[in-house]
Amino acid sequence: MKKLILSLALVGIATMAFAQKKVVKSAEKNFKNGDLTIALDEVNAALSDPETMDDPSTLLLKAQIQTKMFEKDEENNMGTVETGRNAFADFNETMEMVGNDKESKVGKEVYKEDIPGVLPDNLRPFSLETLRQASFNKAISTYEEDDLEMSFEFFSLVSDIDPNDTTAAFNAGFLANDLGKYEEAKVLFNRLLEIENYDKLNAYYFLIQIASGEDKDPEAAYKYVAMARKDYPDDKTLSEFEVQLLLQMNKMEEAMASVKAALKDDPNNAGLLLRHGYLMEQSGDMDGALGEYKKAVVADPNFFEGNYYSGAIYIDRARAILAEVNNLSDEEWEKRAPQMSKEADDLYTQAIPYFTKASELKPENTEILEILFQIHTRLKNEGEAEKYNQKLIALLGPNWLER
C-alpha cells in the first residue's frame, strides 16, 4: 500500500511538471504567432511554479516576449520604455542563471544576431540585440518627432544595453543635459570617458560645465579639466576653463601662471586676454589691466566684455579725479580744478567708443545707456545725450531719471 501511495505521488509530481512544460510550450507557440499578451500570461504562470521557475530558458522566453511587445508598441511612451527595461532586466537575470556564459545554449540565444527584414517574425530570435536595435530606432523616431524626453529614454536604454555604443551614450547624455537631467547626463558622459580610443573632448566639456554651473562645484570641474588636459594638452578651450575655474576658487597665483602659459600658445585669444586683465586689475595694476582689455577688443572687436571693461576703467579713473577735485581746498581748487576736470573729461571721451560698441552689442542694456547719457551730458554733447535719453524712455518710461 505504501509503495502504491508513493508511486501515485511520483505520478502526480510528473504530471504537474509535464503540465507546466505544456504551459511553456503554449507560451512559445503564442509568442511565435504574435499572441503576446496570452504568451506573457502563460510564461508568468510557468515562472511562478517551482517546477519551471528555475529554468533559464523560461525566463529567456519571457524576455523575448517582452522584446517583441516592445518592438511592436507604436505608442513609444513610458509604458513602452518600462516594457523594454523589463526585458533587459530579464535578459540579464537569464545570463546570471547560466553563470554569464555567452557560449552556453541559452547565452547564445540571448546574444543572437537579429537582422530585421531578413527573416519572418516567427523565425526571428527577439534577442538582446533585437531590443537594442528596436530601442535605437525608437530613439531616432521620437527625436524626429521632437519628443526629446522619450528620445532620451530610448537612447539611455540602448546605452545601458551596450555601454560601448558611443553614439547612444553621447546622444542620451546630450538630451539629458538639455532636459535638465544632470545626474543622468553625468553618468552617461562619465561612461564615455571609460571607452578607449574615443574622442572624449565634448564629454569633458559637458562634465566641466555641469560641475561648474549646475553643481556649483569648481573643484570637481577643475578635476575634469586636469583629466582632459592630459588627453588634449593643446586644446585652447580647456585652457580658458582652467583659468576661469582657478579664478572661481580664488587661486590667483595659479590662475596668473595658467593664463600666461595659455597666452603664449594663443596670444590673440580675447577670453584669455580679458582674464589676464582681470587678474592684473585684482593685483592693483590698472594700467596693465586696461592694456589687456584693449588687446581683447583688438582681437575681437565684437567682444562685449572687452569693450565694457575697457570703458569701465576709463570711467573709474575719471570719477576718481572728480572725487579728488571735490575734496580740494578753495585755494587748491582755483589752481588745479580746471586742469583736473579736463583730464577727467578726456578719460570720459576715451570711454565713449567702448561703451558705444558695448551698447550696440547689447542694445537693451539700460545700465550702459545711462552711462552714455551721463557722459554725453557732462561733455555737453546735447544731441548724443538726447539720443540716449530717448532710448531710455522707450525702455524704462518717460520718468526714468526719477527712478
The answer to whether residue 370 sits within a structural domain is yes
Return the minimum-mean-pLDDT range out of 5-14, 15-24, 91-100, 366-375: 5-14
The answer to whether residue 124 sits within a structural domain is no
Same structural domain for residues 372 and 313? no
pLDDT in tens, 330-368: 888 888 999 999 999 999 999 999 999 999 999 999 999
Same structural domain for residues 316 and 385? no
Angle at 162 between CA 161 and CA 167, to 5 degrees: 120
The answer to whether residue 177 sits within a structural domain is no
Cell of 185: 547626463
Cell of 355: 561703451
Same structural domain for residues 333 and 274? yes
Same structural domain for residues 379 and 352? no
pLDDT in tens, 42-69: 999 999 988 788 899 999 999 999 999 9
pLDDT in tens, 79-135: 999 999 999 999 999 999 999 999 999 999 999 999 877 888 888 999 999 999 999
Q: How far apart are CA 194 and CA 41, in angstroms?
A: 40
Q: How far apart are CA 381 and CA 375, in angstroms?
A: 9
Q: Calculate Rg over the CA atoms of the chain.
A: 35
What was the pLDDT predicted at 334?
Answer: 84
Q: How far apart are CA 77 and CA 319, in angstroms?
A: 62
What was the pLDDT predicted at 19?
Answer: 56
**Does residue 12 surpass a pLDDT of 50?**
no
CB atoms within 10 A of CB 170: 22
End-to-end CA distance of the chain: 108
Residue 122: closest CA among 22, 23, 20, 36: 36
Same structural domain for residues 289 and 326? yes
pLDDT greater at residue 189 or residue 2: 189
What was the pLDDT predicted at 376?
Answer: 96
Confidence tier at 265 by pLDDT (50, 70, 90): confident
**Does residue 2 surpass a pLDDT of 80?**
no
The answer to whether residue 397 sits within a structural domain is yes
Yes or no: say if 280 and 292 are a contact pair by the CB < 8 Å rule: yes
The answer to whether residue 224 sits within a structural domain is no
What was the pLDDT predicted at 20?
Answer: 59
Same structural domain for residues 272 and 329? yes
The answer to whether residue 81 sits within a structural domain is no
Q: What percent of the chain has pLDDT over 90?
A: 72
Residue appearing with cell numbers 585652447: 236
Q: What is the dihedral of CA 147, 149, 155, 160, to 10 degrees?
A: -160
Same structural domain for residues 343 and 368? no
Total tally of structural domains belonging to the chain: 2
Confidence tier at 296 by pLDDT (50, 70, 90): very high
Q: How far apart are CA 263 and CA 243, in angstroms?
A: 11
Same structural domain for residues 373 and 396? yes
Yes or no: say if 289 and 259 are a contact pair by the CB < 8 Å rule: no
**Does residue 11 surpass a pLDDT of 60?**
no
The answer to whether residue 303 sits within a structural domain is yes
Residue 392 CA, chain-centre distance (Å), reads: 38
Q: How many angstroms separate the Cα of 88 from the Cα of each of 94, 110, 244, 350?
A: 10, 10, 43, 67
What was the pLDDT predicted at 50?
Answer: 84
Q: What is the DSSP letter of 180?
A: T
- Residue 315 sits in a domain whose CATH number is 1.25.40
**Does residue 147 surpass a pLDDT of 90?**
yes
Domain span at residue 394? 363-403
Amino acid at 373: F
**Does residue 304 surpass a pLDDT of 90?**
yes
pLDDT in tens, 176-226: 999 999 999 999 999 999 999 999 999 999 999 999 999 999 999 999 999
Yes or no: say if 83 and 138 are a contact pair by the CB < 8 Å rule: no
The answer to whether residue 374 sits within a structural domain is yes
Alpha helices in 283-329 (DSSP H): 286-299, 304-326
Q: How far apart are CA 353 and CA 226, in angstroms?
A: 39
